[in-house]
């Protein structure tokens, strides 16, 4: 068993009781971490508060802060194997994905937001009255960052990097299923020279535990949360008591529209990635596939063959594309959707251990659970459509609105449909490609607010107007 602590005020500590993280492939506990509650949340917020109110971090120049974040990015890359193995053992992610995608993207997040803050300009408003107004972006204060388990390190860095780059201090609470990489990140931040108390890591559960203690603390100035829509509602209610601004990146049920004029090879390839990457445990998963009837049979034949060719197995094997689901609880949930599925399963089903094989379902009624609810596993429903209007209507017929994909060779249709879709991101003839300057977030039950580039700046700072009289 390996041991990992909270990191509070520059010290790694493990007071009181603890819990274990279970490796979903071996189904054995592999890491022990302390179980934080109100007392540890208080310590962490106190440390972050002190580092913000009287420490050097918010008072440093952007270049100096940015250099430390770049040094942290260097250390993240130098520890790629350790970080990749941590996420893989915590949640069953293929280690090749963690090594090749999640860890480099973590370093990229740190570098991007360091540079973005350093290079940011602010608006000036010359006034006819002989005054001059301009905007300043002041750090907001103490940020509580609450993360999910599906891309642990990568999504944590998506919050931590802009928060730190804009001069805030942070208490990061990783998901209880994936605690380890956060502790390693905080150790590396100290090694990089980021002062104690600037990045704190607090372990524990959500309700009646570390999570709710953090979100209810009036000394927290921002809460950035990624997780389930239901949890987003609970956190928003807690934050409302202190009027703490909240950013929510929540669940999804992504629609993926394949028109008959699409390049089918490209559409099959991206549609496979869209639903089976990370065993479908992706908020952006293309879990509702709509295919124009004229190409349905051909598309399905190729899609099912490609799904069956995916390598399912031990996440440590570099050839593995799909590992087990992240935990026994989550496996039980996904298994329930598969075993009680309306419609016909063309391929897939439950495998050995906590594995669900790539599963393709047809003829699921529009109001069935598997078609409407976020399964968060390698399970896709495929439904035919006959017109553009029908496809758009079906895609929008969901409480979620995180993202959608459109495959077509008709340029005007691509723009028309992208405009009509009620989703925070629309990918046309691609999937998962991100520009970190672009807004990221969801419509409706998929979120509140946007992050990325200037959108992160708006959330993690207090914009201030300075108005000057110009004596004539
Ligand atoms: P979850 O909501 O169960 O937990 C997320 C985090 O919130 C964990 O750290 C948990 O401990 C904490 N938490 C739970 N209850 C809390 C409470 N009452 N107060 C404070 N903290 C609390 O989500 P999950 O199962 O870890 O993640 C999967 C979900 O996340 C899916 O719905 C997925 O779509 C969503 N997600 C969204 C995005 C996005 O960018 N929109 C990205 C990844 C995952």
- Report how far ligand 1's centroid is from the alpha carbon of 131 (Å): 47
Ligand 1 site, residue 441, Cβ cutoff 6 A: no
What mean pLDDT comes out for the span 45-56?
Answer: 98
- Token reading at 68: 């430390």
Structure confidence by residue, pLDDT tens digits, 335-386: 999 999 999 999 999 999 999 999 999 999 999 999 999 999 999 999 999 9
> What domains lie within the chain, and their CATH numbers?
2-250+446-467 (3.40.605.10), 255-436 (3.40.309.10)
- Report how far ligand 1's centroid is from the alpha carbon of 341 (Å): 25
Among 175, 203, 244, 189, residue whose Cα is nearest residue 51: 189
Ligand 1 site, residue 402, Cβ cutoff 6 A: yes
CA distance 203 to 182: 9
Q: Choose the catalytic residue: 249, 292, 374, 451.
A: 249
Among 172, 163, 253, 156, residue whose Cα is nearest residue 210: 172
CA distance 47 to 99: 32
Ligand 1 site, residue 246, Cβ cutoff 6 A: no
Q: Is 71 left (phi over 0), alpha (psi -120 to 50) or beta?
A: alpha
- Report how far ligand 1's centroid is from the alpha carbon of 35 (Å): 18
372 counts as catalytic: no
CA distance 357 to 338: 10
Structure confidence by residue, pLDDT tens digits, 63-88: 999 999 999 999 999 999 999 999 99
Ligand 1 site, residue 374, Cβ cutoff 6 A: yes
Ligand 1 site, residue 348, Cβ cutoff 6 A: no
Instruction: Measure Cα distances from 395 to 29, 303, 337, 415 in Å.
Output: 41, 20, 21, 15
CB 275 within 8 A of CB 378: yes
Ligand 1 site, residue 177, Cβ cutoff 6 A: no
Exposed e or buried b per residue across 357-377, where buried means at least 16 C-beta atoms within 10 angstroms of its C-beta: bbbbbbebeeebebbbbbbbb
Q: Choose the catalytic residue: 40, 156, 176, 283.
A: 283
Count helices and strands in the chain by DSSP H and E runs: 16, 23
Structure confidence by residue, pLDDT tens digits, 26-50: 999 999 999 999 999 999 999 999 9
Torsion over CA: 346, 349, 351, 355 (sign): positive
CA distance 381 to 219: 45
Ligand 1 site, residue 207, Cβ cutoff 6 A: yes
Structure confidence by residue, pLDDT tens digits, 234-276: 999 999 999 999 999 999 999 999 999 999 999 999 999 999 9
Structure confidence by residue, pLDDT tens digits, 85-120: 999 999 999 999 999 999 999 999 999 999 999 999
SS3 of residue 97 by DSSP: helix
- Report how far ligand 1's centroid is from the alpha carbon of 358 (Å): 24
For the full predicted model, state whether its pTM sits above 0.75. yes
Q: In the chain, what are the helix, strand and coil shares in percent, each to the nearest 5?
A: 40, 25, 35
The confidence score (pLDDT) of residue 359 equals 98
Structure confidence by residue, pLDDT tens digits, 127-175: 999 999 999 999 999 999 999 999 999 999 999 999 999 999 999 999 9
Q: Whose CA is nearest to atom 11 of ligand 1?
A: 206
Report percent pLDDT > 70 for the chain: 100
Instruction: Tell me: pLDDT of 466 over 90.
Output: yes
Ligand 1 pocket test: pick from 105, 148, 157, 459 the residue with the most ligand atoms within 8 Å of its Cβ. 148
- Model confidence band, residue 472 (pLDDT cutoffs 50, 70, 90): confident
12 counts as catalytic: no
């Amino acid at each position: 068993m390996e041991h990992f602590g909270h990191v509070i005020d520059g010290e790694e500590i493990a007071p009181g009781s603890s819990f274990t993280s279970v490796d979903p492939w071996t189904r054995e506990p592999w890491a022990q971490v302390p179980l934080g509650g109100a007392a540890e949340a208080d310590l962490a917020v106190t440390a972050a508060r002190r580092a913000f109110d009287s420490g050097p971090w918010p008072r440093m120049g952007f270049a100096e802060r940015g250099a430390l974040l770049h040094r942290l990015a260097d250390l993240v890359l130098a520890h790629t194997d350790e970080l990749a193995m941590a996420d893989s053992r915590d949640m069953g992610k293929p280690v090749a994905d963690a090594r090749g995608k999640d860890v480099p993207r973590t370093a990229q997040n740190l570098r991007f937001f360091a540079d973005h803050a350093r290079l940011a300009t602010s608006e000036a408003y010359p006034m006819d009255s002989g005054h001059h107004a301009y905007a300043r972006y002041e750090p907001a204060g103490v940020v509580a960052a609450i993360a999910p388990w599906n891309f642990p390190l990568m999504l944590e860095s998506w919050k931590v990097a802009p928060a730190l780059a804009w001069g805030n201090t942070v208490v990061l609470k990783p998901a209880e299923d994936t605690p380890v990489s956060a502790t390693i990140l905080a150790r590396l931040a100290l090694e990089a020279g980021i002062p104690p108390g600037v990045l704190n890591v607090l372990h524990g559960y959500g309700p009646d535990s570390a999570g709710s203690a953090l979100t209810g603390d009036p000394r927290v100035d921002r809460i950035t949360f990624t997780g389930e829509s239901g949890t987003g509602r609970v956190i928003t209610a807690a934050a409302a008591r202190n009027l703490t601004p909240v950013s929510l990146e929540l669940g999804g049920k992504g629609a993926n529209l394949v028109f008959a004029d699409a390049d089918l090879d490209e559409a099959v390839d991206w549609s496979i990635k869209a639903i089976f990457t990370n065993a479908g445990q992706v908020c952006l998963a293309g879990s509702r596939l709509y295919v124009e009837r004229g190409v349905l049979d051909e598309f399905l034949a190729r899609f099912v063959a490609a799904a069956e060719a995916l390598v399912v197995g031990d996440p440590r094997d570099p050839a593995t594309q799909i590992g087990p689901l992240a935990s026994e609880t989550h496996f039980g949930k996904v298994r329930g959707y598969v075993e009680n599925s309306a419609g016909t399963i063309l391929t897939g089903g439950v495998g050995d251990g906590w594995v669900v094989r790539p599963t393709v379902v047809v003829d699921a009624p529009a109001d069935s659970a598997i078609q409407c609810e976020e399964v968060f596993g390698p399970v896709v429903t495929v439904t035919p459509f006959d017109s553009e209007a029908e496809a758009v209507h079906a895609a929008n017929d969901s409480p979620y609105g995180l993202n959608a994909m459109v495959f077509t060779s008709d340029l005007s249709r691509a723009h028309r449909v992208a405009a009509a879709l009620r989703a925070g991101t629309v990918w046309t003839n691609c999937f998962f490609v991100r520009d970190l300057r672009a807004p990221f977030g969801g419509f409706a039950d998929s979120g509140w607010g946007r992050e990325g580039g200037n959108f992160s700046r708006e959330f993690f700072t207090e914009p201030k107007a300075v108005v000057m009289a110009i004596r004539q």
